[in-house]
Structure 1
Amino acid sequence: MTTLTQLLPAPVIDETARLLMEHYVFPETAEQLAGLLRRRLAEGSYDVDDAEELGRLVTADLQSVNGDRHLRLKYHAHPVPPERGAAALAAMRRDFDTSLGGAPRVELLDGGVAVVELAPTLFPLEWAAEPLSAALTLAAPARALIVDLRANGGGDPDTVAFVCSYLLDERTHLNTMYWRDGERREQSWSLPYVPGARFGGSKPLYVLTSSRTFSGAEELAYDLQQLGRAVVVGERTGGGAHPREGWTVHPHLEATIPVGRAINPVSGEDWEGTGVQPDVPCAAVGSLDRAHELALARLAG
């Protein structure tokens, strides 16, 4: 799609390279990537007049060194404001308003097994707390619960902790973020109090994943899996563990750059590059039926 906004590749590449050097969580890789972008620009590889095409070309180069799928020059069809992070928020708001706040499905299956689908993303908590609380409270009396993350592409770490709080009994350390400077770190814990009713930490819990499950949705599955709280059913996830921020470098292009890395307190690792490995591997399309069978069998036992 060609935009009406004039595209000058050189300033876009220069600003993207500068942002990499200043913010990317791995400084040595940032230097390598900035050099690659400038070299490709000098070679004429970015001589295009289409913002979407430039985003595609630059993203391929950004991900060519270490495969970091959060590292992108992301195209937006709608013009986005210049403020830091504004591009992502504008796109999220449109999705929020058309997905019942990120909880588009709550259903009771045979045998008292509830399904709560969280999609397309885990929206910022100041938006999502009310609809997520309503969905999880509605499912709280169920005998077993299936959380469907197959179509979830990520989201807010605070929202991950909020959802986990409904699925645990006690305040629990979930994750630690390590930032680029190497000195700052930030722990994520489940909450001591939630509005509404908890499903709790003892009844059977299953999490559905697909190859599309990514970023914050992966953290939700990984945190619950590592705690031994949930059985993950489905496909290996996308493998994006680095929290990122976004900068508008053109009215239709956002440079998304990871600024930290997540370390789980149980495994001492994260899911970057490897994805979350399911406990019960199966095709995503059949994972709901498989999890339902597992839940019924456990309840019968």
Structure 2
Amino acid sequence: MDTASIITETRALLLEHYVFPDIATTLDAHLEQRLADGAYDAAKSPEELGELVTADLQSVNGDRHLRLKHHADEIPDGDDGATTQVVVKEAARSLTGVPTLRALDGGVALLELAPLLFPVEMSGDVVTAAFTLVADATALILDLRNNRGGDPFTVALICGYLFDEPTHLNTMYFRDGDSYHQSWSPAYVPGKRFGGTKPVFVLTSGRTFSGAEELAYDLQQLGRATVIGERTGGGAHPRRGFKVHAHLEATVPTGRAINPVSDTNWELVGVVPDIEVPEAEALERAHREALGR
């Protein structure tokens, strides 16, 4: 394991891609000094090195998407190769992200989306089928308590079933190209819409993260859903993954979210529930609220 080369490559990726150039410069100097001080000499494996470097990467602004992430399986070549590898395995184990769909008393539907919001090209048919099945429910409970994130295009597709008209959900600023990209719910969705008027409740936990947080935050800020459960993890920066070792991936946030209602995002603070209860009590509370509506 060539520690010096791994650190050098990670520093270069930070300087080139990190959405906050000033923080990238600070972190670059910090990693250089830590390497010179021998701080990484104690790492006897890629996993140990990843843990040490990740702690340093997150020491300035706490960005949880900024990591030197260890993967037990060898990482394929190409940007985001590790993510693609993980996504394929996770999808096969989780019915492509819809592990639970259940009818509750009172005509309320429970739809769990986990462990990820898989890319539309992989999950679109499954999402369509799930929302077609819940379209006639009196109220909908979306369970994101075990969702670690996913694709913003899938967030937009899901929102298409929950709004009657195209709705501005989010804007992403990307450092690469100094560009802004708006996300809207689609004008057309296959299958049946749940619609934009019936009650929607979103369940969250401290594990709810990244793209799953965007779904909860977008619906909350637009007044479309009531969030019930625990404050979420606080990761609002889209990231890219770069292979720097056979088992180490540098994940570097390249953008930041800007909500059209709040003009900010959920980075570090998380999505704050409208009704804060322990995650184990969230479903029962949401069902009670749905029946009350």
Q: Pick the TM interval, shorter chain.
A: over 0.9
Partner of 1:267: 262
Give the superposition deviation at 1:183.
3.5
Structure 1 stretches of 4+ moved >2 Å = none
| Counterpart contact for 2:116–2:149, Cα < 8 Å | yes
Give the superposition deviation at 1:181.
5.1
| Counterpart contact for 1:8–1:49, Cα < 8 Å | no
Does residue 171 of the first structure (1) align with residue 166 of the second (2)? yes
**Distance in 1 between residues matched to 2:156 and 2:20, nearest whole Å:** 26
Paired AA for residue 4 in structure 2: A
Partner of 1:83: 78
Give the superposition deviation at 1:49.
2.6
Partner of 2:15: 21
**Distance in 1 between residues matched to 2:209 and 2:11, nearest whole Å:** 25
**Distance in 2 between residues matched to 1:41 and 1:92, nearest whole Å:** 33
Q: How does 1:193-272 map to 2 (within 5 A)?
A: 193-272=188-267
Partner of 1:4: none
Partner of 1:41: 35
**Distance in 2 between residues matched to 1:168 and 1:291, nearest whole Å:** 20
**Distance in 2 between residues matched to 1:214 and 1:151, nearest whole Å:** 9
Give the superposition deviation at 1:182.
7.4
Evaluate the alpha carbon distance shift between residue 88 and residue 144 of structure 1 in structure 2; reply closer, same or farther with a 3 A threshold: same
3-state SS in 1 of match to 2:290: helix
Q: Which moved more, 1:44-53 or 1:147-156?
A: 44-53
**Distance in 2 between residues matched to 1:178 and 1:140, nearest whole Å:** 34
Partner of 1:286: 281
**Distance in 2 between residues matched to 1:52 and 1:23, nearest whole Å:** 24
**Distance in 2 between residues matched to 1:258 and 1:285, nearest whole Å:** 32
**Distance in 1 between residues matched to 2:47 and 2:155, nearest whole Å:** 31
| Counterpart contact for 2:17–2:176, Cα < 8 Å | no
Paired AA for residue 291 in structure 2: L
**Distance in 2 between residues matched to 1:12 and 1:122, nearest whole Å:** 31
Deviations 1:3-61 (A, max 9, x none): xxxx1111110000000000000001001111111111111111223011111110011
3-state SS in 1 of match to 2:28: helix
Paired AA for residue 280 in structure 1: I
Q: How does 1:52-71 map to 2 (within 5 A)?
A: 52-71=47-66
Deviations 1:144-168 (A, max 9, x none): 0000000000111101101111111
**Distance in 2 between residues matched to 1:88 and 1:34, nearest whole Å:** 25
Partner of 1:11: 5
**Stretches of structure 1 lacking an aligned partner (at least 5 in a row):** 1-6
**Distance in 1 between residues matched to 2:83 and 2:49, nearest whole Å:** 19
**Stretches of structure 2 lacking an aligned partner (at least 5 in a row):** none
Paired AA for residue 49 in structure 1: K
**Normalising by structure 1, what TM-score?**
0.96
**Distance in 1 between residues matched to 2:156 and 2:207, nearest whole Å:** 21
3-state SS in 2 of match to 1:111: helix
Choose which of 175, 179, 194 in structure 2 pairs with 1:180.
Answer: 175
**CA-atom RMSD, angstroms?**
0.8
**Distance in 2 between residues matched to 1:87 and 1:36, nearest whole Å:** 26
3-state SS in 1 of match to 2:165: coil
**Distance in 1 between residues matched to 2:57 and 2:132, nearest whole Å:** 42
Q: Which moved more, 1:43-52 or 1:148-157?
A: 43-52
Give the superposition deviation at 1:129.
0.4
Does residue 128 of the first structure (1) align with residue 123 of the second (2)? yes
**Normalising by structure 2, what TM-score?**
0.98
**Distance in 2 between residues matched to 1:17 and 1:235, nearest whole Å:** 35
